Structure 1
Amino acid sequence: MKTALIIRHVPHEGVAGYRQPIEEAGYHVNRIDVTDPEFSCLDLREPDLLIMMGGPMGVYEQDRYPWIACQMRRLSLRLAADRPTLGVCFGAQMMAGALGAEVYPGPAKEVGFHPVQVHEHVADSPLSHVREVPVLHWHGDTFTRPDNVEILASTALYPHQAFRRGKTQLALQFHAEMGEDPRFDAWIDQWPEAVVEAGGCPKALRRTHDELGPGAVAAGRAMIADWLRGLN
């Protein structure tokens, strides 16, 4: 059976809605936290699919989080080997950094549900499934464009919302996996100031999550399923 490994940078940012299409594609899913003592010993080239999720830290905070540099070195080897890799939010920023891009704080926090502008000129983009669908955004960092990638989507604040490198590597700033997972409450409880800084209201965002979340997750699952089919 094919293996998929989820790297979780904080406990409340898991694979959520993306687990279903990954398992349906025939992967046996394992998970490891960066705090696990075994994490530093893993060869990240080994899993058939690597999924790196989000987190509140920045790629540039390596003095504060020494494991970031360790993970980046091993991730670079995986990407150079063209191994299937999915990065979400911080995971996407890790991919960009491992491909030589600069990761840095963005112009403003982007928090809430709204669509991304899917680039029409990109052929066979799995992001066609999220076109015009409000999906969750919760980030404040961005990155320069890595070499040899296709930018798949943008927003007004963040022109690099998603990219792919060939068929095997997909990076997503936004969170189309979130919309039905109760861990969303932990996001708001821990970072209400991020919602306010982005011009929102925590209570209103909970209501929007309940209203728009299921549609966002359905679109996100279709996107991931489409991308995984392209790996075969």
Structure 2
Amino acid sequence: MKTALIIRHVPYEGVAGYRAPIEAAGYALDRIDVADPAFSSLDLREPDLLIMMGGPMGVYEQDRYPWIACQLKRLRHRLDADRPTLGVCFGAQMIAAALGAEVYAGPRKEVGFHPIHLREAAGETPLRHLADVPVLHWHGDTFTLPENVELLASSAIYEHQAFRRGSNLLALQFHAEMGEDPRFHEWVQQWPESVVEAGQDEESFRATHDALGPGAVQAGRSMITDWLSAVA
């Protein structure tokens, strides 16, 4: 059986809705937290699939989170070997940084459910499943586009929402895995100021999640199924 490793940067950011299509593709899922003492010695080239999830930290906060520099160094080795890798939100920002891009704080938070705008080239990619589907966004950082990648999606606030390199690398700024996972409510509880900053209130935001979340997750699962069918 193929192996898939989830790197979890904080306990409330897991693989969520992506678990089902990953396991259906024949991967045995394992997980490691960056706080685990074993994480610093882990060879990130080994798993058949590496999945890096989100977190509230910034790639540029390496003085505060020393493990970021350690992870970036080993991630570069994996990307140099073109091993199948998926990054979500902070995970996507880590991929961008490992490929030489700049990650920085954006001018405003992007929090809420709204569709991404697919670039012309994305019509023939796994992201086509997300066309016109509102998905969850929850971030304030963004990044310059790395060299030799294909930009797949933008939003009204941030241009760089998704990119790929060949068939083995997919980076997603948004959270199409979230919509049925109860950890969403922990996000709202942890960062109520982000909800307010985005012009919403907690009650209406939770109602929007309940209404739009299942459709977002269904589309996200189709996207991951499609992507995994093509990885080398």
Check whether TM > 0.5. Answer: yes
SS in 1 for 2:124: coil
For structure 1, the residue ranges without an aligned partner over 5 or more in a row are: none
Contact 1:87 1:95 survives alignment (8 Å):
yes
1:142-178 residue CA offsets vs partner (Å, 9 max, x unmatched): 0001000000000121100000011100000000000
Stretches (4+) displaced over 2 A: 120-124
Q: Is the 8 A contact 1:72 1:94 kept in 2?
A: yes
Q: Which residue matches 1:60?
A: 60
After superposition, the C-alpha distances for 1:25-56 in whole angstroms (9 at most, x for unaligned) are 00000000000010001000000000000000
- Following superposition, the deviation at residue 97 of structure 1 comes to 0.2
| SS of equivalent residue, structure 2 residue 185 | helix
Cα distance in 2 for partners of 1:175, 1:97 equals 19
Task: Name 1:209's counterpart in structure 2.
Answer: 209
TM-score (norm 2): 0.99
8 A Cα contact 1:107 1:157, kept in partner: no
TM-superposed CA distance for 1:123, in Å, is 5.5
SS of residue in 2 equivalent to 1:170: strand
**Aligned residue type for 1:66:** P
Could you report, residue by residue, the CA deviation over 1:56-104 in whole angstroms, capped at 9, with x for unpaired residues?
0000000000000000000000001000000000000000000000000
Match of 1:39 in 2: 39
Contact 2:122 2:128 in 1 (8 A): no
> Is residue 74 of structure 2 the alignment partner of residue 74 of structure 1?
yes
Count of residues in correspondence between the two structures: 232
Tell me whether 192-201 or 15-24 shows the greater mean CA deviation.
192-201
The share of aligned pairs that are identical, in percent, is 74
- Counterpart residue identity of residue 21, structure 1: P
Corresponding residue number in structure 2 for 1:96: 96
State the shift of 1:200 in Å: 1.4
Task: Give deviations 1:111-161, integer Å, cap 9, x for gaps.
Answer: 000000011234621100001000000000000010000000001211000
| SS across alignment from 2:110 | strand
Letter in 2 for 1:133: V
Displacement, 1:197?
Answer: 1.0
Taking structure 1 as the reference length, the TM-score comes to 0.99
Query: Separation in 2 of the partners of 1:94 and 1:201?
Result: 30
Residue 169 of structure 1: aligned partner = 169
Matched, 1:231 2:231: yes
Q: Is the 8 A contact 1:195 1:202 kept in 2?
A: yes
CA distance in 1, matches of 2:117, 2:184: 24
Aligned partner of 1:203: which letter?
E
Amino acid at match of 1:79: L
